[in-house]
Amino acid sequence: MGFGKLRLFFSRLFVILIFQFSFSEYYMGQHPCHLKRDYSPTYTKEGDIVIGAFLSLFRKSDFKMDKYSFKSSPAFVRVNIGYMLKHYQHFLTVQFAVDEINKDPHLLPNVTLGYQFLNNFHLSHLAVESSLIWLSGKGPTIPNYSCGGQHKSMVVIGGMSSKLSMAMATLLGLYKVAQLSYGSFDLLLSDEVLYPYVYQLGSRESTLHLAAVQLMLYFGWTWVGLVISDDPTGEQFFRNLKEEMALNGICLAFTERAPELFQEDYEVIKLMSRILGSSSNVIFIYGTTDSLGEISELFHDHKFYGKMLITSTSWDFSADSRNARMSNFHGTLILSHLERVIPGFTDFLRNVHPRANPEDIFTKSYLEVVFECTLSEISSIGIIYEQCDENISFALVPPIYLNNLIIGRNSNIYNGIYLFACALHHMLQTEAKDVSEFAANPLLSWKLHHFLKYVNPANRIKDDLCGDGTSMTAETYEVLNFKSFPDNISVEVKVGEVIPQEKVLSINEEDIDWPEDFPQIPSSKCSEACGPGFRKQLREGQPICCFDCTLCPDGKFSNKTDAEECMQCPEDQYPSKEKDRCLPRTVTYLAYEETLGMILTSAAFCFSILTTFVLGVFVMYRDTPIVKANNRSLSYILLTSLTLCFLSSLLFIGRPTPAICVLRQTTFAIVFTVAIASILAKTITVVVAFRATKPGSQLRRWLRPAVSHSLIFLCTLIQMCLCGIWLGTYPPFLEMDIYSEASFIVIQCNEGSLVTFYCVLGYMGFLALVSFTLAFLARKLPDTFNEAKYLTFSMLVFCSVWISFLPAYQSTKGKAMVAMEIFSIMVSSAGILICIFAPKCYVILLRSDRNTLGKLKNKANP
C-alpha cells in the first residue's frame, strides 16, 4: 500500500471516529454535537432519487477579528450579492435537466428525479457544512447519521472550483457518494487514490497550449509574457506551452507564478513591474478563478496600459457582474471549449417566474438583487427595496447577468445530470431491481460507480451520453473577444475557432475589438522582422526571438522574411543591389563596340600605321647615311615586328574562341621576341663595331648581316620551343569567369599553365635586360654611334612597363586584366618605336642637311 493510500485511510478513519464520538455524546444527553445552520439555505424538490446540487450563488466573507475581539461573535457576516450573481444559471440548469429527464419516457421510465439546492457561497467550510446537511437530512446536522427520509444519497453535483470539490470529497468520499465536479478540470482531482469517487465534468485542457500557440502564430506574436497559477495545473500548462512555443519559434518574455494570496505587498509590486516593464505587448494568463482571485482584483484596480490579454474560460475575470472596471479587460481574447447548445434551455429561461415555485428562495433572492426590488414583505436578502412588479420574470434579466463565459459550466452540469441518469438507467436494467432496493442497500448503490465510469461525458450532450462512451471528436476551441461598453455592459463575441490537433484556425478580424491602446492588431516581438535581403543574427545570451538584422554578404541573397541564412545565387545569376532576389547575368568580354575596345583598337591601328609609315621612310631613304649607319636590315626587321606587335593586341579584343586563346599569347610572345632580339642584335652590333675599328681586328667578321639574323633566329627559336612546351602541356583555354564581375559572366582565356606563361614573359624580360645592359655600357660611344643611347631608353621603357605589368596583371580580373595586357603591349611597343626611330625620322624628314656623310664624319672627329 502506497504512502498516499495510507494517508487517505488514516485521515478517513480519524474523521469517522470523531463523528462517532460526537454522536455518542449527543445521544447520551451530554453536550449535544450538531451544527447550527445559519448560512446554508436549501430548496428541495422531492423525487425517488434526489440529486444534491452544491452550487455557488453570491459570495460570503467573514470579517477578520483580532485576539481581543475574538471572545465575542462577529457583528455580522458580509454577503457580496453582486459577486457570482450570474452563476444562478447553474441552478436553472439543474432544474431544466431534471424536468427534462422526468418527462422522457425512455430514460428512467419508472423513476422520478428530484434535487436539493444548497448554496455554499463559494466557501470551503460551507461546502463541508452543505455536505453534512445532505448526509444528515433536514433535522439537526448529526455526523454519520441520516435523518433525511427515504431518498438515497447516491450522487451530488458540486464544486465549481477544485478547492470546493476537495473539501466536499473529504467527507462524501467516506460514504462512496458519487461527486460530479462541474468546474474546470484539475490535475489534483484526477488522483484516483485521494479522490476515487470524484468525476470531473470539465473538459481536460490537454490541447489548450496548442490552441494558444496557433493563435500567437496567426497574429505574429513571438514575444509573449506568461502569468500562471502557482499550482500543479499551472506548472503542467507551463511545461506544455513552453515546449510548443519553442518548436514554433515563439519565446517567453517572462514567466510569473501568481499565488492564490499575496503574502506581502512587494509580491504585488514585483508582479506589476514585470508586466508593465516587459517589452512584450501580449500577456497570456492561465489559471482558475480561485487560483487567480487576487490577479482579478489587481487587473480590476489597475489598468495595464499597452498590454493585450489572452486567457481561457478557466479564469472568470468577470465573476463580479457589477464591477464598474470591466473596461480594463476590453479587447481580451478568450479561448473557450466549443460548447454545444443545450436544446430548449433558452425557452426555459424565458418562462422562469418567481411565483411558479414560491418556495424557491434562490430565484426570489436572485431576482431581488438583479431588479433591486422586494418580492414579498420581507426581503430574502435583508435589504429594503420597493415592491417588485408582478410581471417580473427571468426573461427580463439584463444580458450582463447571462455572461457567456459560464455557459461551459452550464453544459457541464447538464451533461453531469444526464451522465448520472444514463448510468442509473443502465444499472437498473442490468441489476433488474427496483430503485427502492438501492435506497435500502448501500452496497447496491455503490455499484453506480462502475456505470458512471462506463459513460463518457466529454463534449457530448443528452442522447449521446447514453451510448457506449466511444465517441471521440477533435477538441475544438472558440476564440471569444471580451467587449466592454458603458453602463457596465459587457459581452463575449465569438470571433473564431481553433482545432489545435489539426492546426486549423479561422479568425474574423473585423469582429475583434482590440484594447484601447492598440488601434490595430497589436505587435509583440522582441525584434522587428528582418526583411528580404537580410538574415537574422542571434544576440548572444538572449532567446532566439531577439536578434539583429544583417545584410547578406556579397554574392548571396534572401527573398523571405526572417531568413536564417542567405542563399547563393545560381552561377548564371547575381544578387540585386538590395540582396532580395537574383538577376540574370550578362555575358561580357572586351568587345570592339564598347568604348574601351574602340580606343584600344584605334590605338593599335594608329600605331601599326605609324610603324608602317616609319618603315616606308626607312625604305625610301635606305641609301642615306643615317639609315645605313644604323644597320638597315635590322631596322626593317624591328619595324616589321613592332607592326605585328601592335596588330597582335587585336587578338585580345572581341569575343574569345578556343583558337584565339591558343594563338594570342603565343603570337604576342613570338613577335615580341623578334623585336627584342632585333634590338639585342643592334646593341651587339654597335658594341662590336666600335671595337672592330682597329686595323686587322678579328671582330669585323661578326658585323656581317648573317650573324645578326642568326642571333634573331636563335632567340626566336628558343621562345618558340617554350611556347611549344606550353601548348603541349597545359595550353590556354576558354572559360567563363563568374567571379570577376558580380553582374556579368566574363568570357575570357585562361592562360592554362602560369609557370610556362611566366617563363615566356621572363625569357623576353631576360633578352630585354641583356639589351639594356649592353646599351647602357655603350651609351657614351662617339655620336656616330649614338643609337646606343636610344636603345638604352627604349629598353628602359620596355622593362619599366612589363615590370609594372606583372603585379597589375595579378590584381585585376576580367576585362580589366585583358585591357591591362593590351595597354602594356602597345606602350612597350610604342616606347621602342619612339625612342629608337623618332630621332632618326626627325633627321631624315626635317633635318636632311644632317643626313650626309660629311656631317657624320665631322661628328666622329670633333
- How far apart CA 285 and CA 315 sit, in angstroms, is 8
- How far apart CA 503 and CA 555 sit, in angstroms, is 38
Look at residue 10 in the predicted model and tell me its pLDDT: 44
CATH class of the domain whose range is 39-62+76-204+408-465:
alpha beta
**254: its cell numbers:** 517572462
Strands (E), 472-631: 477-485, 489-499, 504-507, 534-538, 547-551, 556-557, 567-568, 573-575, 582-584, 586-588
Q: What is the CA radius of gyration of the chain?
A: 53
Under a CB-based contact definition with an 8 Å cutoff, are residues 508 and 496 in contact?
Answer: yes
Look at residue 20 in the predicted model and tell me its pLDDT: 41
| Residue 352: DSSP 8-state | -
Q: pLDDT by residue (tens digit) across 352-381?
A: 877 777 778 888 888 888 887 887 766 656
Length reported for the chain: 862
Look at residue 800 in the predicted model and tell me its pLDDT: 86
Listed residue (130, 167, 40, 31) closest to 23, CA to CA: 31
Q: Per mean pLDDT, which range of 155-159, 228-232, 447-451, 560-564 is the poorest? A: 447-451
Under a CB-based contact definition with an 8 Å cutoff, are residues 228 and 258 in contact?
Answer: yes
What are the distances in angstroms from CA 226 to CA 220, 232, 251, 296, 329? 16, 16, 10, 15, 16
- Mark out the alpha helices in 28-123 (DSSP H runs): 88-103
- How far apart CA 684 and CA 681 sit, in angstroms, is 5
| 3-state SS assignment for residue 727 | helix
Which residues, 6 or more positions from 83, have their beta carbon under 8 angstroms from its beta carbon? 58, 59, 319, 320, 321
Q: Residue 10 corresponds to which amino acid?
A: F
- How far apart CA 799 and CA 300 sit, in angstroms, is 91
Q: pLDDT by residue (tens digit) across 288-342?
A: 877 887 788 788 777 888 899 999 988 877 765 555 567 788 899 999 887 667 8
DSSP-assigned beta bridge partners for residue 539? none
Which residues, 6 or more positions from 650, have their beta carbon under 8 angstroms from its beta carbon? 601, 604
Under a CB-based contact definition with an 8 Å cutoff, are residues 165 and 178 in contact?
Answer: no
For residue 700, pLDDT over 60 is answered with no
List b or e across 643-656, with b for residues whose CB sees 16 or more CB atoms inside 10 angstroms: bbbbbbbbbbbeeb
H or E element that contains 283:
strand 282-286
- How far apart CA 649 and CA 643 sit, in angstroms, is 10
Percentage of the residues of the chain whose pLDDT score is greater than 90: 18
Q: What is the mean pLDDT of residues 171-195?
A: 86
Q: pLDDT by residue (tens digit) across 588-602?
A: 888 888 889 899 999
**848: its cell numbers:** 636632311
Q: How many CB atoms lie within 10 A of CB 204?
A: 15
Q: How many CB atoms lie within 10 A of CB 25?
A: 12
**321: its cell numbers:** 457582474
Listed residue (301, 172, 304, 281) closest to 224, CA to CA: 281
CATH class of the domain whose range is 595-860:
mainly alpha
**760: its cell numbers:** 615566356
Q: pLDDT by residue (tens digit) across 623-652?
A: 888 787 777 888 899 899 999 999 998 998
Under a CB-based contact definition with an 8 Å cutoff, are residues 760 and 719 in contact?
Answer: yes
Q: How many CB atoms lie within 10 A of CB 54?
A: 29
Look at residue 785 in the predicted model and tell me its pLDDT: 46
| 3-state SS assignment for residue 167 | helix
| Residue 370: DSSP 8-state | H
Q: What is the mean pLDDT of residues 652-667?
A: 89
- How far apart CA 862 and CA 860 sit, in angstroms, is 6
Look at residue 296 in the predicted model and tell me its pLDDT: 80
- How far apart CA 253 and CA 267 sit, in angstroms, is 19
> Helix 208-219 to helix 232-247 angle, to the nearest 10 degrees?
40
73 vs 534, more confident: 534
DSSP per position, 129-154: HHHHHHHH-SS-B-TT---S-S----
347 vs 603, more confident: 603
Under a CB-based contact definition with an 8 Å cutoff, are residues 423 and 430 in contact?
Answer: no
Q: What is the pTM of this model?
A: 0.67
Q: Per mean pLDDT, which range of 125-129, 269-273, 857-861 is the poorest? A: 857-861
Look at residue 384 in the predicted model and tell me its pLDDT: 66
Regarding the domain with residue range 208-313+322-337+475-511, which homologous superfamily does it belong to in the CATH classification?
Response regulator (3.40.50.2300)
